[in-house]
């Protein structure tokens, strides 16, 4: 066991007591974003934030490509006529669309999402069953005119995301894709990044515009609000019919394709990464995603400087040979200032190299536990992997303790006031249950988020709102 280190608190805000201020402060102090760009809802992503977003893109794109998706880039603008082809879709998105000043005959929108852009071309690319499945994705910025209070990375008018648009010959294949999307989310967001979530089938009144059903991945933030992370949708046939996306099957007959889409909002995932793992000393980045996985701080005098620097360079070279991302802090700051700087920025591991380390084991600082241990150089990667496991275990424990079974509206109210999620019996998540959901929203400013998609949960009593027979178990939470 290592010696507990007294670490200087980087800012005087308690994450649990005042998450909102903590979040704003950490984005500023760790230099993730800058909100001083003079357009509401648009922020500047600074180098550390950009590196993290890029690494998130790499994780998701690698996994998508392994699963048979291919990258494309579509234009940022979408003509109005494309939106008009699918009535539910334009009705759902019209209030959020940024329309460009009209030039000539055509009215253009900045994409809020790209179904209507992709599907115009899909009708030209797909001819027979041999062209299926078609699984394409793009990384893109999307634009939505958010009228609610904006928040960097959480709720903005421009955000960074991936969108996958897929076509299949059968409903069965399409539904397998929906399940695969959830598995992709689980593999990256939960298993790698240590962010637990609930995969919830959304109520009928809260599904994606134009979808038969939507599965959203809800993550609970420290302020008791859930944030929707990657969502996947089985689309209704309206898109295929509106855009005339047909194929000739093996029997020579024409059919409409079945479609799905999947959208990891990478900037929003970064918000959860920061919020779930960060502490009162700054960021705590998982080893797997951190742009700098190990920072080396040399501690020397003029007498031993040459020996120390030789040792430091040897360490760096050996770690890089193992594929570890390493930085030597060669600034003129004092060791204490360097420690503070890298702790705020969440670098997972810090190696301190002084006179003792020339003869003994290395001194390694673990950012998540804020303690020092003595290790051999060959143990560094293992320590990084162990750090990620600890972050996941800690987040798991907190998440499981935040889901409370409730048998009455009074218990729901109490649970929400404690910044937790209420799990309760409910009547329906189709149109029949909408009035009960409206009562929840009106009384508690919270929402019926849906039912579990990954497991079947059997209701055992009456609806927590109307007191009629319950047919589903739902999760109620406040949200962004």
What pTM did the predictor assign? 0.93
Can you give the CATH number for the domain in which 231 is found?
Answer: 3.30.930.10
Can you give the CATH number for the domain in which 314 is found?
Answer: 3.40.50.800
Would you say residue 394 lies in a domain? no
Same domain? For 379 and 407 the reply is no
Mean pLDDT of the chain: 93
Same domain? For 269 and 408 the reply is no
Half-sphere exposure of residue 422: CA atoms within 13 angstroms, side-chain side: 27
Please state the φ and ψ torsions of residue 413, each to the nearest 5 degrees.
-60, -45
Report the pLDDT value the prediction gives residue 3, as an integer from 0 to 100: 43
Beta bridge partners of 326: 294
Count: domains in the chain: 3
pLDDT at 452 exceeding the cut of 90 = yes
pLDDT digits (tens, 9 = 90+) for 191-239: 999 999 999 999 999 999 889 999 999 999 999 999 999 999 999 999 9
* Contact assessment for residue 239 and residue 210, using Cβ atoms and an 8 Å cutoff: yes
Report the pLDDT value the prediction gives residue 88, as an integer from 0 to 100: 65
Q: What is the DSSP secondary-structure string of 38-74?
A: SSTT--EEPHHHHHHHHHHHHHHHHHHHHTT-EE---
Same domain? For 272 and 320 the reply is no
Please state whether beta strands 3-4 and 371-375 pair in parallel, antiparallel, or not at all (unpaired): antiparallel
Domain that residue 165 falls in = 19-277
pLDDT digits (tens, 9 = 90+) for 271-310: 999 999 999 999 999 999 999 999 999 998 888 989 999 9
pLDDT at 9 exceeding the cut of 90 = no
Same domain? For 257 and 137 the reply is yes
């Amino acid at each position: 066991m290592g010696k507990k280190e007294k670490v200087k608190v980087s800012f005087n805000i308690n994450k649990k007591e005042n998450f909102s201020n903590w979040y704003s402060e950490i984005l500023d102090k760790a230099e993730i974003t800058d909100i001083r760009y003079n357009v509401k809802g648009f922020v500047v992503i600074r180098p550390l934030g950009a590196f993290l977003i890029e690494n998130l893109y790499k994780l998701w794109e690698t996994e998508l490509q392994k699963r048979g998706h291919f990258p494309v880039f579509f234009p940022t603008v979408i003509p109005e006529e494309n939106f008009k082809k699918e009535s539910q879709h334009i009705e759902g998105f019209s209030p959020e669309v940024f329309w460009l000043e009209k030039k000539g005959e055509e009215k253009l929108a900045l994409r809020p999402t790209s179904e209507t852009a992709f599907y115009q071309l899909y009708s030209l690319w797909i001819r027979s069953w041999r062209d299926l499945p078609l699984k394409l994705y793009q990384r893109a910025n999307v634009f939505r005119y958010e009228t609610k209070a904006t928040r960097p990375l959480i709720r903005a008018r421009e955000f960074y995301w991936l969108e996958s648009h897929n076509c299949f010959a059968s409903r069965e294949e399409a539904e397998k894709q929906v399940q695969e999307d959830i598995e992709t989310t689980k593999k990256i967001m939960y298993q790698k990044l240590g962010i637990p979530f609930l995969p919830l089938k959304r109520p009928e009144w809260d599904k994606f515009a134009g979808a038969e059903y939507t599965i959203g991945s809800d993550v609970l933030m420290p302020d008791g609000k859930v944030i929707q992370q990657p969502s996947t949708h089985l689309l209704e046939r309206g898109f295929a019919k509106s855009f005339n996306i047909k194929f000739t099957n093996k029997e020579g007959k024409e059919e409409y394709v079945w479609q799905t889409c999947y959208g990891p909002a990478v900037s929003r995932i970064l918000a959860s990464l920061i919020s779930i793992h960060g502490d009162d000393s700054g960021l705590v980045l998982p080893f797997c995603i951190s742009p700098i996985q190990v920072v080396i701080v040399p501690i020397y005098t003029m007498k031993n400087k040459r020996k120390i620097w030789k040792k430091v360079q040897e360490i760096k070279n050996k770690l890089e040979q193992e594929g570890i991302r390493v930085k030597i802090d060669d600034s003129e700051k004092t060791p204490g200032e360097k420690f503070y700087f890298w702790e705020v920025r969440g670098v997972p591991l810090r190696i301190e190299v002084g006179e003792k380390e020339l003869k003994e084991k290395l001194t390694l600082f673990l950012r998540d536990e804020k303690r020092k241990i003595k290790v051999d150089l060959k143990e560094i990667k293992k320590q990084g992997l162990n750090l990620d496991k600890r972050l996941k275990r800690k987040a798991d424990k907190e998440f499981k303790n935040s889901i409370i079974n409730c048998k009455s509206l009074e218990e729901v109210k109490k649970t929400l006031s404690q910044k937790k999620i209420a799990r309760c019996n409910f009547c329906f998540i189709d149109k029949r249950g909408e009035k009960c959901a409206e009562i929840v929203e009106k009384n508690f400013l919270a929402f019926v988020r849906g039912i579990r998609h990954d497991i079947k949960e059997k209701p055992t009593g009456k609806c927590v709102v109307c007191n009629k027979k319950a047919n589903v178990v739902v999760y109620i939470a406040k949200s962004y």
